Structure 1
Amino acid sequence: MATFVLVSGPFTGGWVWDEVTARLQKSGAEVYPVTLTGMGDPAGPDTDLETHIEDLVRLIDRIDAPGVVLVGHDYGIHPVLGAADRRPVRIARIVYLDAGMPRDGDPALAFVPDQEVRERLSSGEGGPTVPPPSGDGWEHWGSTDGIPVDALDRLDRLSVPQPSKTLTQPLRLSGSPFDRAVTGVLCTANGSSLAMVEMAVASGPPQFRVLAGPEVTFFELGTGHWPMLSAPEELAGVLLRAAVGEGHRVSAPAEHERPQYLGPFLMDVAEAPRERIGRVDLHLPADLPDADHPRPAVVFVHGGPISPDQRPGPRDWPMYVGYSRLAASMGAIGVMPEHRLHGLADYARAAEDLAEAVELVRADPRVDEDRVALWFFSAGGLLSSDWLAAPPPWLRCVAMSYPVLAPPPGWTLVDSRFRPASTVGSAGALPIVLTRVGLEHDVIATTVEEFLTAAGNTGADVEVIDVPLAHHGFETIDHSEQTRDAVDRAARSVLGHLLS
């Protein structure tokens, strides 16, 4: 049977695994629930991530088993990866239990969902420890869905402060964690799912291709962020199956296949002159040189997060080039900026990039500064929040295609300011054109319904264009009369508001 080392997330120790440990041992497994330094007794001033890595290395060296399954929950994945990097031949499998995907140089702080804690420690204002949450405060660290009342009470009673240096010290790795057998356990009530993983792999960003490796498997648990408390029996069963290599495997496009986001745009649109100004591309109407008046502009806002190293960048993707050319063919200037949404904590920076791009465009003498539309896509939809909260008079329309309109469960790294479902009530008479796909991911569809309910309650002017047989990102994967008609309708609606 397998040998498990169980490493929990912040504020907790080996006690949090009691029920899972009992079930694994009953199945004949050898189990080591770990209480890291400072997570039982008070932490010393020098307790950091390296301390916790050494804790695990010493334990692994004492275990008399040919291979060890290391399970890292939340923060626990950081010391797990550090220890596996130092004892690679001793590790049979790494299990990411509702955990992030840190790489070399990443501190655990980058994955802390509590925004206040993240900002305080980032600014150097935090003390030597982070006090544990209590009661409803645990929701700032992950969904508590499914945890019984008595288990929540135990979480409050037994939790301890987390040494700050364990969160701020960067993880150092000599190789990729995915060079060995890996399993991801996804807790759907906390926002992760197989569907989201498959979309990430299919969309092509290089950092996600490792999730389709030959020794990478996945399981879903329909519970919140602490399955050892909310679903211990199910979690124990999943860990036993993971140890023998079971689980769902994700397929990646073959090397010779282009990723979905580089597929051709669903409409044939004539080329348009393009100018590049910094991170902003302008697609110009062919007759612009002969025009005696400035033209309206449509600013397209891509989704993400997208790696800063990804090439080509979004403004060179066929889909966004296609939309920009479509706007140009209809007499407007198609604007395609690239913003720096590289991670869920980057929305404020991306919002600044977008605001700068809009001001650059409005200052261009070829643009009618009083006739601008913003068109948001996918997770870029959260960036519409500011514009809906206080629409400037020159903003004639906001369009959205398969948008994320509220941070889904688990997206606690997103600043609370970016919630269009909460700000749409301030949009007034601003026209909103929303393209909704019928084959949307449930977690995203829920945010759209929340938005539409809020819009209906406040009388917001929302035009919904439904595309029943289309997927998220349909422009390069679902080429049909229905999808082409939807894009044409949305574009004509946007241009109609710009020209009215």
Structure 2
Amino acid sequence: MTAFILVGGMFTGGWIWEETAARLAETGVRAHPVELTGLGTRRAEAGPGTDLETHVADVLRVIDAIPAGAAPDLVLVGHDYGVHPALAAADRRADRVARLVYLDAGPARDGAPALAAVPDRALREKAADAGGNGRGGTLEPPAAAAEWRCWGSTAGLSEPLLDRLTRLAAPQPLGTLLQPLRLTGAVAEVPAAGVLCTAGGAGIDMLQMQVGLGDPALTALADRGATFFELPTGHWPMLSLPAGLAAALLSAAGGGGRRLSPPSGELPPHLRPFLVADRDLPVVPRERTGAVDLYVPGGDGSRGARPAVVFVHGGPVPAGARPTPRDWPAFTGYARLAAGQGLVAATVDHRLHGTGDHALAAQDVAAALERVRADPRVDGDRLALWFFSGGGLLCADWLQAPPPWLRCTALTYPLLAPPPAWPVPGDRFRPADAVGGAGSLPVVLTRAGREDPGFAATVEGFLAAARRCGAHVDVIDVPDGRHGFETLDHTESARAAVHQAVRTVRAHLTR
């Protein structure tokens, strides 16, 4: 006696659930797509006062129309923006809703508008500007199939499906995006599940990593025992993979799926000891100025200016994560190793807190480089940049037109192409495209043999582009290493790879 209430995302109406609802009906359960005011068949009903509360009321009407005895198990599904009215409705009918499902949607927060969950900063600003001081007006949907990529991965959508999505899309009432979500807290007692569309770049392992980094919303879901599913498709699985989505929803209704591990007494992977024992690392004083830490061999510069290497952490790292990356054992370990090789080492905290923050992070890295180059103990004509993980996208700025003082770029288990759902602006932050401008700049690339397949594919694409343009790439392999092997895999091959990478970077800096 389960009934599904399906709440669509931005620009869409109840029509988008047709195939998924049919698959659910084949199993004997009922599905109730919600027609939200101003969208779908109710496109003409939007007015100046249409806001998030209007859509919450739409969902509540559907819940209240289902007799309690007819369907004791109501599963409320919110896709994308739809999780905001779904969450608010579940909060007000916590006694009726058996489970809340986040469908390729980020956690929503009490007091925050739905607009805050839009990852693309430019789209957020566009909507905020359109809204002005009030909540009237609308945000126009994509006018062409290619424009949907700004809102999520279109993987799995055929040309006819994209055309249909474009043709039936309706303007989103701005009040629904700008009015803050209001929760009483009752929804915290409602079991939750999440369905992730992995073509957009996010999988369960990535969420688990974010829990380890202290993401408060995901930590709360882990503490509540939320379960998660993955679908190998883009942001609109009700169109691209309706059977798979229906199966995931049915399993979620029964409590299936994979749980995230809540924080425990054990150290999370990024805070575990560096693979080179502390006693084997040189003792180098650390100097902290703003967001930059310097490790200077000899300290006073009495041996003259030295080459320097700037380590750039990956991400996204939640803004509230403590300690910050420059205090993580991997980065303090690399910095001390580099200083032991006679280099000035610098670590920097940057603002890659979300998938749309690469431009902010790039500003921070550029400022850190200027700070390091200006230090009299640094040879400003001999610097290296070393990027890790999701920070790998930032290397594109430096590959496409490297300044003469940049003598080497290093990449360790990097992400070298943005996942489709990441709101990376224009053609920036695409290393495979940028490497053609690298010229003679050497690249030192360390690969983890047990890498996430999505990350590994971007590395192979980058190497193929480098071969085509004749770029110089030194590849160092860690066959048994995982992403973050410096604190996960204390093996001889991993240690040897770290030492080899540091020596190779030093060799390029001292030529």
* Offset at residue 300 of structure 1 (A): 0.6
Alignment of 1:62-141 (within 5 A): 62-65=65-68, 66-112=72-118, 116-124=122-130, 128-133=137-142, 134-141=144-151
Question: Separation in 1 of the partners of 2:472 and 2:33?
Answer: 55
Per the alignment, in what secondary structure is the counterpart of residue 471 of structure 1? coil
Question: Separation in 2 of the partners of 1:295 and 1:174?
Answer: 58
Per the alignment, in what secondary structure is the counterpart of residue 487 of structure 1? helix
Question: Separation in 1 of the partners of 2:163 and 2:443?
Answer: 45
Q: Provide the residue aligned with 1:451 in structure 2.
A: 462
Question: Separation in 2 of the partners of 1:143 and 1:373?
Answer: 34
Q: Provide the residue aligned with 1:271 in structure 2.
A: 283
Question: Separation in 2 of the partners of 1:292 and 1:224?
Answer: 56
Counterpart check, 1:482 vs 2:493: yes
Counterpart check, 1:305 vs 2:316: yes
Counterpart check, 1:379 vs 2:390: yes
Asked if the contact 2:6/2:33 (under 8 Å) is kept, the reply is: yes
* Offset at residue 179 of structure 1 (A): 4.8
Asked if the contact 1:195/1:441 (under 8 Å) is kept, the reply is: no
* Alpha-carbon displacement from aligned partner over 1:294-313 (angstroms, at most 9, x marks no partner): 11111110111112211111
Counterpart check, 1:262 vs 2:271: yes
**Higher mean C-alpha displacement, 176-185 vs 344-353:** 176-185
Change over 3 Å in CA distance of 1:425–1:292 after alignment to 2: same
Query: Which residue, out of 149, 152, 155, partners 1:145?
Result: 155
Q: Provide the residue aligned with 1:462 in structure 2.
A: 473
* Offset at residue 384 of structure 1 (A): 1.1
* Alpha-carbon displacement from aligned partner over 1:70-96 (angstroms, at most 9, x marks no partner): 101111112111222232222211111
For 1:284, give the aligned amino acid.
V
Query: Which residue, out of 180, 195, 214, partners 1:170?
Result: 180
**Higher mean C-alpha displacement, 39-48 vs 467-476:** 39-48
Asked if the contact 1:376/1:400 (under 8 Å) is kept, the reply is: yes
Question: Separation in 1 of the partners of 2:370 and 2:217?
Answer: 32
Q: Provide the residue aligned with 1:232 in structure 2.
A: 242
Question: Separation in 2 of the partners of 1:113 and 1:206?
Answer: 17
* Alpha-carbon displacement from aligned partner over 1:472-496 (angstroms, at most 9, x marks no partner): 0110010011001101111011111
**Higher mean C-alpha displacement, 197-206 vs 276-285:** 197-206
Asked if the contact 2:101/2:193 (under 8 Å) is kept, the reply is: yes
5+ residue gaps, structure 2, are none
Question: Separation in 2 of the partners of 1:68 and 1:296?
Answer: 63
Question: Separation in 2 of the partners of 1:123 and 1:64?
Answer: 43
Change over 3 Å in CA distance of 1:258–1:196 after alignment to 2: same
Asked if the contact 2:285/2:299 (under 8 Å) is kept, the reply is: no
Query: Which residue, out of 476, 484, 490, partners 1:473?
Result: 484
* Offset at residue 175 of structure 1 (A): 3.6
**Higher mean C-alpha displacement, 76-85 vs 116-125:** 116-125
**Higher mean C-alpha displacement, 399-408 vs 188-197:** 188-197
Per the alignment, in what secondary structure is the counterpart of residue 6 of structure 1? strand
Change over 3 Å in CA distance of 1:417–1:88 after alignment to 2: same
Question: Separation in 1 of the partners of 2:379 and 2:449?
Answer: 36
* Offset at residue 164 of structure 1 (A): 2.2
For 1:46, give the aligned amino acid.
G
Change over 3 Å in CA distance of 1:294–1:114 after alignment to 2: closer
Asked if the contact 1:108/1:166 (under 8 Å) is kept, the reply is: yes
Per the alignment, in what secondary structure is the counterpart of residue 35 of structure 1? coil
**Higher mean C-alpha displacement, 163-172 vs 352-361:** 163-172
**Higher mean C-alpha displacement, 362-371 vs 104-113:** 104-113
Question: Separation in 1 of the partners of 2:249 and 2:233?
Answer: 15
Question: Separation in 2 of the partners of 1:163 and 1:290?
Answer: 61
**Higher mean C-alpha displacement, 96-105 vs 197-206:** 197-206
Question: Separation in 1 of the partners of 2:439 and 2:187?
Answer: 50
TM-score by structure 1 length? 0.94
For 1:70, give the aligned amino acid.
L
Q: Provide the residue aligned with 1:46 in structure 2.
A: 49
**Higher mean C-alpha displacement, 427-436 vs 151-160:** 151-160
For 2:354, give the aligned amino acid.
G
Instruction: State, as a whole percentage, how many aligned pairs show the same letter.
Output: 57
Query: Which residue, out of 402, 423, 429, partners 1:412?
Result: 423
Per the alignment, in what secondary structure is the counterpart of residue 32 of structure 1? strand
Question: Separation in 2 of the partners of 1:11 and 1:208?
Answer: 27
Asked if the contact 2:16/2:238 (under 8 Å) is kept, the reply is: yes
Asked if the contact 2:81/2:105 (under 8 Å) is kept, the reply is: yes
Change over 3 Å in CA distance of 1:303–1:414 after alignment to 2: farther
Question: Separation in 2 of the partners of 1:108 and 1:416?
Answer: 27
* Offset at residue 289 of structure 1 (A): 2.8
Question: Separation in 1 of the partners of 2:475 and 2:325?
Answer: 25
Counterpart check, 1:197 vs 2:207: yes
Question: Separation in 2 of the partners of 1:125 and 1:413?
Answer: 24
Asked if the contact 2:13/2:36 (under 8 Å) is kept, the reply is: yes
5+ residue gaps, structure 1, are none
* Alpha-carbon displacement from aligned partner over 1:340-384 (angstroms, at most 9, x marks no partner): 111111111111111111111111111111111111111011111
Asked if the contact 1:95/1:183 (under 8 Å) is kept, the reply is: yes
Asked if the contact 1:114/1:140 (under 8 Å) is kept, the reply is: yes
* Alpha-carbon displacement from aligned partner over 1:442-485 (angstroms, at most 9, x marks no partner): 11111111111111111111111111110001100100110011
Counterpart check, 1:32 vs 2:32: yes
Per the alignment, in what secondary structure is the counterpart of residue 41 of structure 1? helix
Query: Which residue, out of 233, 237, 243, partners 2:253?
Result: 243
Counterpart check, 1:58 vs 2:61: yes
Counterpart check, 1:157 vs 2:167: yes
* Offset at residue 137 of structure 1 (A): 2.3
* Offset at residue 322 of structure 1 (A): 0.6
Per the alignment, in what secondary structure is the counterpart of residue 349 of structure 1? helix
Counterpart check, 1:395 vs 2:406: yes
* Offset at residue 209 of structure 1 (A): 2.8
**Higher mean C-alpha displacement, 175-184 vs 271-280:** 175-184
Question: Separation in 1 of the partners of 2:192 and 2:158?
Answer: 30
For 2:456, give the aligned amino acid.
A
Change over 3 Å in CA distance of 1:348–1:123 after alignment to 2: farther
Change over 3 Å in CA distance of 1:358–1:290 after alignment to 2: closer
